[in-house]
Structure 1
Amino acid sequence: MGVSGSGKTTVAQLLAQDLGWTFAEADDFHPPANVAKMESGHPLTDEDRWPWLRSLRDWADERAEAGEDAVVTCSALKRSYRDLLRGSRARVRFVHLDGPPELLAQRIGGRTGHFMPSSLLGSQLEALEPLGADEDGAVVSIDATPQECARAAAEALGL
């Protein structure tokens, strides 16, 4: 979990590869209307996000029923979003990839081919609710290489 530019996709792909687990990119679950809204520079509302989050939860349920472990990227900025995801039959744990706003903005500005413009970073940072002490997960700093972040995530989760 984390805001745009935190390295969710890169770190999650490495983690899934290291563990031999299935990988999914939450952005692929967004309906076209959500993508169009973000591409035009408008932040999503909670109402925009609920169907997307439910589809992720349902995907996790399917993996659990198949006996598969998975790593899924998802911003999961608010506790209420994480609560919905934790409603899955799978054990859902979070790794919050965290870093300074300047680094996040630099990363967003340097990437190509993504629908999330850097202008929406501020709204994501405002919406972000850090993991609570009672939430199953860990915080990993993004001030290391992606591989080091993936290793730190696995270690923090005892994987």
Structure 2
Amino acid sequence: MDQSVAIQETLAKGENCTIMSPVPIHAVECVSLLNDVRESKLIGLVQQNNEHALFIYSHRRMAITADDVTLDDIIPISYDFSVVEVSSPDELAVVGADTRVRVTFLKEELELKLPFGSHTRLFLSEVNRAWSDVCEQYPKEEPKFDWLAKYRKMSKGLDH
């Protein structure tokens, strides 16, 4: 089931949680590994014009509609953003192991465990492509992310 529909329902007109590659990649379910607390999350790459941001949601069950998700955080993909795969030697030795990534923006850091598979690989490559697009434009045209202001009240930890 494509859970990106639930994310799309939370977005304003002109904002899309859709990545068109050979296979449409919209959102990935993952586990947040913050302070040794594991929490299931839904993460979507959202685009508005030429700007992208990661929208991170909590969810009660399989996210089918906007009522099933709660916006936790938004991480703008700007020059100050990075996503890096991190793994222990034990994880590298296991074929089919989940993918662990560390996402950073300014002083904020988040570690996520994404499911093994091509869906995760395509999602991460689209996130990296969005970041590369920003780097090509910086500093000439730095993203402003004005469209994210309306979400500040809805999100728990969005103080960027």
Asked if Structure 1 and Structure 2 have the same fold, meaning a TM-score greater than 0.5 normalized by the shorter chain, the answer is no
**TM-score with structure 1 length normalisation?**
0.27
Which one has the bigger helix percentage? 1
Q: TM-score, normalised by structure 2?
A: 0.27
